[in-house]
Amino acid sequence: MTLPQRREIETDQRLRLLVGLVVVVAILITATSLPVAARSAVTATPTDIAVLVVLTVAIALGTLVKARVRIRSTTHSISWTEAAIIIGLAIAPAQSVVLCTAVGITFASLRLPPIKMAFSVGKNVIVAWGAGITLAMTTWTWPPENTVALIVPVAASYLVAALLDDLLAIPVIALASGTKIAKQFRTNLDLRLAGFAVRFVVAVCTLLILDANFKLLLAIPPLVLSLHLGYSTRIRSRTEQQAWQRLARTTDALNVVDLDTVLTTAVTQAAELFSADEVEIELRLGGRTVRGGTGGITFDGPIGTPAEVDGTIVPAPLEGHDRTVDVGILRLRFRGPVQLSEREQYTLRTFASALCTAVRNAQAYAELARVADEHAYAAAHDALTGLANRRHLLDEGTEQLSTRHADGVTALVLIDLNHFKEVNDTLGHAAGDQVLVQVADRLRGAAQASDLVARLGGDEFAVLLRGLPAPAVAAHRAETLLAALHEPFELDGMRISVEASGGISVAPSSGGMAELLRRADVAMYQAKRAGQRIATYAPTRDTADLGRLTLGGDLPRAVADHEFVVNFQPIVDLGTGEVTSAEALARWHHPTHGMIDPLRFLEAVERSGLLPAFAEAILDQALIAAANWRDAGFDVPVAVNVSPRSLLDARFPGSVLARLRAHDLPPDRLVLELTETLTLSQLDVVDRVLSRLRDEGVRLALDDFGTGYSSLSLLSRIPVHELKIDRSFVTTMESSAEAAAVIRSTLDLGRSLNLDVVAEGVESEPQRRALWELGCVAGQGHLFARPMPAGTLLAAMQRGSGGRPGTLAAPLHDAGAVIRLSQNRRQTGRSRPDRLPHLPA
Ligand code: C2E
Ligand code: CA
Ligand code: CA
């Protein structure tokens, strides 16, 4: 049972109790009056009987002729009953009048429900009895001696009658309408008082006329009728005026843009305006129903839920004046049978139309607000990942940096996925998108509440770190973020690893957010260039004037004008110092920026679609150099770096082989250095390209070995000839047992798979010796030579070291080590027996 239902039952019980009480008192009064009345009936003259009959009829008529006021489903009326009773009491015995009242009222209220009839009869019996006693207590005689002797007792008796009437009726009305007794008492008090006064005057006049001349009584009915009409018209126009005022106030109150407010106002105001027990509004848009009463909304939910109140339902469609729009329906519900007056019907139509407009306005406003919100969201977020976009990041960062007393340090981590374009190109954009979404999720998961994770576009992400306790914490946090990307991504059953590089910058003192972003960008390129996962911005290494993004536009010209040149870095036999091959490393000879390193333009080249032209240009220059060296007596192979994306091109092997033929070089004079990436490991086309090249005799090397994610599983798929130990291991091999272990196991692997192993980044003699002692035969690095133009390298080889042409370093003189290692070295593919004589035996 709901609360309103329970309350209603309680109200009902109280009403019954009250009515019961009234009826019991009235029955007692009637019972005591009966014997006296019966006794006086014995001595009654026909005139007396006629008077009593007329009186009964007058009381009945006075009850029937009334001004009606409807409150909820109950209509309340103000009648002439008490005037008729008073006149009766003045001229006939009180007990008889009580009986006449009981009979008259019973007849008058025959059409009413029993409970109302009982109450009406009971109340008026009590009123008649009270007024009768009052009159008896005065010095009343009929006919009266003078006017004063008439007016004073009648006034006293009338006062009691009026008081009793209100005292009994008001609590019942208040209970039935759910209003406060005090409020009910004040309602229309002025009109009620005036009504009482008029009826009192009529009663007194009637008595005076009766006293003076019986015949004048004929003048009473027209007088009463006109007074009655005037009074009820007054009451009606008063009610109407109030109703219009309320309607005007209500439609005014509906003039708000919030739909919920509109509905709440409409429900409470309609309940009050139409005295409805419940008001229901059903909106077509959104299928929403709200219900409630004067107290507010009691239900808000979908259409179709049954209402609590049944009885009369008065519906009003919520449509515009022209009936073209139809937003829903308004229903007034009443417990009892109710018929709206014409005025009320008109009010209802007006109200419904105002509500229709208000609802439409609110709905339109909500839609506008939603669209505006959506725009604001879309303007600040990346549609694919839901992360903040570049603009939002810049805004937030700017705000953070401009907050004077912001707590802690602000830093930015820029994260760039390596070789992401391959994912797109090989697995399709949908897969690429999935990876980006997963990357976004992981970054979000790894970020802290105060961080802002953003996608800057493409495969570039950024995380704004706010409130760091110290600048150094930024590096730690960046590690955590990048570590989150370490585990392979699950893509339709495939596992894909994505490598990422990170750049960190800590809030600059000037330049704001743009500078912070630029520095993070520079740091990221420093990381890529240094072969590290993460780098922190260092001003000393900042070559900002070469903004890498502007380089993109220069690329087509660079290819057309042959601005790409190749430097060669020799690879030497660690034992003898003899040059065994050379790696071709691309440079961009930019007309205004000068020499530019490959890490700064390679990605732009790969993205630009100019990769085939670029790769061909580099290969050409490398093969020309190798041919020249051979012609000069140094028949060393040349190693060329290959972009993973080139391996996706089925025409690549054909183009390489054609270049080799054009320069009249056997395929085994060319080493192609491959980096381990997703593309290499997972695609058939790559398998075919590499098999074709290998079958034709081209040598394959795995570059940066040890840094990739699946080095070993990769090796089983791609049969290469050579491994290149990544520079980072060589650099740290003396201090890091881990790095040394990687080198050792790579060398073991090389021996067991019969692969050549080349150590990159050899910068010192101790490194060279340590590598040599571990069984590494070949090395490359600044210790021997930096990358240089082909001609310079030829000259260096011709000059030689210590008078021996072809060498770039003095041989190692550790006989024990050489003898011990020579057996191992014999087993490796690259070691040639003819070199052994150079070594001390
Ligand atoms: P990589 O293949 O690992 O090349 C070795 C890089 O290490 C070169 O940088 C080289 O200059 C540098 N290096 C050599 N010895 C030392 C040393 O002792 N110490 C230090 N600190 N560095 C040393 P570079 O020329 O900047 O090339 C960077 C990367 O760019 C290369 O790494 C390679 O992956 C790529 N790359 C270069 N040229 C080409 C090209 O023609 N095509 C493609 N696809 N990639 C290229
Ligand atoms: Ca390389
Ligand atoms: Ca390398």
Q: Which residue has the tokens 């004077």?
A: 404
Does 762 share its domain with 664? yes
Does residue 841 sit within a domain? Answer: no
Q: Which residue has the tokens 């996962």?
A: 533
- From CA 12, how far away is CA 753, in angstroms rounded? 99
**Digit-coded pLDDT (tens) for 287-339:** 899 999 888 899 999 988 777 777 789 999 988 766 777 889 999 998 877 88
Residue 722: phi and psi, rounded to 5, are: -150, 145
pLDDT level of residue 549 (50, 70, 90 thresholds): very low
Q: Which residues have C-beta atoms less than 6 Å from ligand 1?
A: 569, 585-586, 597-599, 602, 618, 641-643, 673, 703-704, 727, 760-761, 763, 780-782, 787
> In this model, does residue 665 exceed pLDDT 80?
yes
- From CA 748, how far away is CA 252, in angstroms rounded? 89
Instruction: Say what the pLDDT of residue 697 is.
Output: 96
Give the side-chain half-sphere CA count within 13 A for 405.
0
Residue ending a domain, among 321, 343, 373, is: 373
State which ligand 1 atom lies nearest to the alpha carbon of 763: 18
**CB atoms inside a 10 Å sphere around CB 782:** 12
The letter for the amino acid at 526 is: Q
State which ligand 1 atom lies nearest to the alpha carbon of 567: 25
Instruction: Say what the pLDDT of residue 433 is.
Output: 92
Give the mean model confidence (pLDDT) for residues 264-274: 89
- From CA 85, how far away is CA 98, in angstroms rounded? 8
> In this model, does residue 21 exceed pLDDT 60?
yes
Which residue, by CA, sits nearest to atom 33 of ligand 1? 641
Does 645 share its domain with 754? yes
State which ligand 1 atom lies nearest to the alpha carbon of 673: 2
Lowest pLDDT segment from 176-180, 428-432, 634-638? 176-180
**CB atoms inside a 10 Å sphere around CB 403:** 11
The CA 290 to ligand 2 mean position distance, Å, reads 73
Lowest pLDDT segment from 300-314, 348-362, 691-705? 300-314
Which residue, by CA, sits nearest to atom 7 of ligand 1? 761
3-class DSSP state of 791: helix
H/E stretch holding 39 reads helix 3-42
DSSP 43-84: T--HHHHHHHHHHHHHHHHHHHSEEEEEETTEEEEEESHHHH
Does 230 share its domain with 287? no
| Ligand lying closest to the C-alpha of residue 565 | 1
Give the side-chain half-sphere CA count within 13 A for 358.
24
CB 99 within 8 A of CB 76: no
Which residue, by CA, sits nearest to atom 42 of ligand 1? 641
| Cα–Cα nearest to 84, from 68, 111, 110, 105 | 105
The CA 90 to ligand 2 mean position distance, Å, reads 128
Does 698 share its domain with 757? yes
The CA 585 to ligand 1 mean position distance, Å, reads 6
Does 159 share its domain with 298? no
| Ligand lying closest to the C-alpha of residue 704 | 3
Give the mean model confidence (pLDDT) for residues 260-279: 89
> In this model, does residue 546 exceed pLDDT 80?
no
Q: Which tokens in the block code for residue 557?
A: 């010209």
- From CA 573, how far away is CA 839, in angstroms rounded? 11
State which ligand 1 atom lies nearest to the alpha carbon of 599: 30
The CA 639 to ligand 2 mean position distance, Å, reads 8
The CA 805 to ligand 2 mean position distance, Å, reads 25
Does 394 share its domain with 457? yes
DSSP at 789: E
Instruction: Say what the pLDDT of residue 183 is.
Output: 78
CB 99 within 8 A of CB 37: yes
DSSP-H helix ranges across 632-733: 652-662, 678-682, 684-695, 711-717, 727-732
Instruction: Say what the pLDDT of residue 252 is.
Output: 84
Domain encompassing residue 705 = 568-583+609-828
Best mutation site among 585, 675, 726 for ligand 1, i.e. most ligand atoms within 8 A of its Cβ? 585
Does residue 552 sit within a domain? Answer: no
The CA 759 to ligand 3 mean position distance, Å, reads 9
3-class DSSP state of 630: helix
**Digit-coded pLDDT (tens) for 235-250:** 778 777 877 888 888 8
State which ligand 1 atom lies nearest to the alpha carbon of 598: 30
In sequence order, the β-bridge partners of residue 455 are 461
**Digit-coded pLDDT (tens) for 666-679:** 999 999 999 876 55
3-class DSSP state of 318: strand
State which ligand 1 atom lies nearest to the alpha carbon of 643: 44
**Digit-coded pLDDT (tens) for 34-68:** 888 888 888 888 888 888 888 898 888 888 876 66
CB 73 within 8 A of CB 337: yes
The CA 530 to ligand 2 mean position distance, Å, reads 13
Which residue, by CA, sits nearest to atom 35 of ligand 1? 598
The maximal CA–CA distance of the chain, rounded, in angstroms, is: 168
Does residue 604 sit within a domain? Answer: no
Q: Which tokens in the block code for residue 66?
A: 């009334």
Residues with CB under 5 A from ligand 3 (ion): 703-704, 760
Does 335 share its domain with 409? no
Q: How far is CA 556 from CA 291, 553, 560, 616, 673, in A?
A: 70, 7, 6, 14, 25
Which residue, by CA, sits nearest to atom 41 of ligand 1? 586
Residue 458: phi and psi, rounded to 5, are: 55, -125
| Ligand lying closest to the C-alpha of residue 619 | 1
The CA 508 to ligand 1 mean position distance, Å, reads 31
Instruction: Say what the pLDDT of residue 436 is.
Output: 94
Instruction: Say what the pLDDT of residue 838 is.
Output: 37
Does residue 227 sit within a domain? Answer: yes
Which residue, by CA, sits nearest to atom 37 of ligand 1? 585
DSSP at 405: T
| Ligand lying closest to the C-alpha of residue 725 | 3
State which ligand 1 atom lies nearest to the alpha carbon of 780: 15
Does 59 share its domain with 92? yes
In the structure, how many helices (H) and strands (E) does the chain have?
28, 24
Does residue 416 sit within a domain? Answer: yes
Residues with CB under 5 A from ligand 2 (ion): 641, 673, 703
Q: For residue 632, what is the domain's CATH number?
A: 3.20.20.450
Does 404 share its domain with 494? yes
Does 133 share its domain with 171? yes
The CA 722 to ligand 2 mean position distance, Å, reads 12
Give the side-chain half-sphere CA count within 13 A for 348.
22
CB 460 within 8 A of CB 382: no
The CA 731 to ligand 1 mean position distance, Å, reads 15
The CA 703 to ligand 3 mean position distance, Å, reads 5
Q: Which tokens in the block code for residue 47?
A: 């005139």
> In this model, does residue 640 exceed pLDDT 80?
yes
Distance of CA 537 to the CA centre of its chain: 36
pLDDT level of residue 210 (50, 70, 90 thresholds): confident
The letter for the amino acid at 826 is: R
Best mutation site among 418, 640, 641, 724 for ligand 1, i.e. most ligand atoms within 8 A of its Cβ? 641
Q: Which tokens in the block code for residue 102?
A: 């009981």
* Region class of 333: left (phi > 0), else alpha (psi between -120 and 50), else beta: beta
Give the side-chain half-sphere CA count within 13 A for 274.
36
The CA 672 to ligand 3 mean position distance, Å, reads 12
Q: For residue 514, what is the domain's CATH number?
A: 3.30.70.270
| Ligand lying closest to the C-alpha of residue 779 | 1
Instruction: Say what the pLDDT of residue 711 is.
Output: 57
Cβ-count burial 287-320 (b if 16+ within 10 Å, e if not): ebbbbbbbeebeeeeeeeeeebbeebebebebbe
**Digit-coded pLDDT (tens) for 505-535:** 998 777 788 888 888 988 888 888 777 889 9
Q: Which tokens in the block code for residue 72?
A: 């909820």
The CA 428 to ligand 2 mean position distance, Å, reads 28
Does 491 share its domain with 622? no
In sequence order, the β-bridge partners of residue 358 are none
Number of domains in the chain: 4
- Three-state SS across 739-770? HHHHHHHHHHHHHHHCCEEEECCCCCHHHHHH
Does residue 152 sit within a domain? Answer: yes
> In this model, does residue 769 exceed pLDDT 90?
yes
Give the mean model confidence (pLDDT) for residues 599-613: 82
pLDDT level of residue 839 (50, 70, 90 thresholds): very low
Q: 26: which residues sit within 8 A by CB, 6+ positions away?
A: 102, 121, 122, 123, 125, 126
Residue 750: phi and psi, rounded to 5, are: -55, -45
State which ligand 1 atom lies nearest to the alpha carbon of 646: 44
Residue 178 or 633, more confident? 633
Which residue, by CA, sits nearest to atom 15 of ligand 1? 781
Lowest pLDDT segment from 104-118, 379-393, 619-633, 678-692? 678-692
Does residue 193 sit within a domain? Answer: yes
Task: Kindly report the length of the chain.
Answer: 841
H/E stretch holding 89 reads helix 81-91
State which ligand 1 atom lies nearest to the alpha carbon of 760: 15
Give the mean model confidence (pLDDT) for residues 708-716: 60
DSSP at 703: E
| Ligand lying closest to the C-alpha of residue 569 | 1
The CA 136 to ligand 1 mean position distance, Å, reads 127
Residue ending a domain, among 237, 262, 280, is: 237
Does 180 share its domain with 272? no
Does residue 602 sit within a domain? Answer: no
The CA 703 to ligand 2 mean position distance, Å, reads 5
| Ligand lying closest to the C-alpha of residue 701 | 2
| Cα–Cα nearest to 830, from 745, 727, 733, 724 | 724
**CB atoms inside a 10 Å sphere around CB 81:** 30
